[in-house]
Amino acid sequence: MIEKTRRKFTKEFKQKVAHEAIRGGMTQLELAKKIDIHPRVLGKWKRKDDPFYSYRDDFM
């Protein structure tokens, strides 16, 4: 069985992708496929980048 190593993304990368998702150039699913992550992960990044959720600095 081939083991995958866990990927780590920088805070800056997460913010960049979240901004791209919020701008709406493509759907969340399309963007998630483009960067090879699960759409739910992208959803978390989007919520974290939203000022409404800014009080949760411990996430990223």
CA pair distance 6, 50, nearest whole angstrom:
26
CA pair distance 51, 48, nearest whole angstrom:
8
Give the predicted TM-score (pTM) of the model.
0.70
Q: Regarding predicted confidence, which is higher, 60 or 48? A: 48
Residue 47: predicted pLDDT:
85
pLDDT tens-digit series, residues 6-58:
889 999 999 999 888 888 888 899 999 999 999 999 999 988 877 665 555 55
Tell me the domain boundaries of the chain. Answer: 11-53
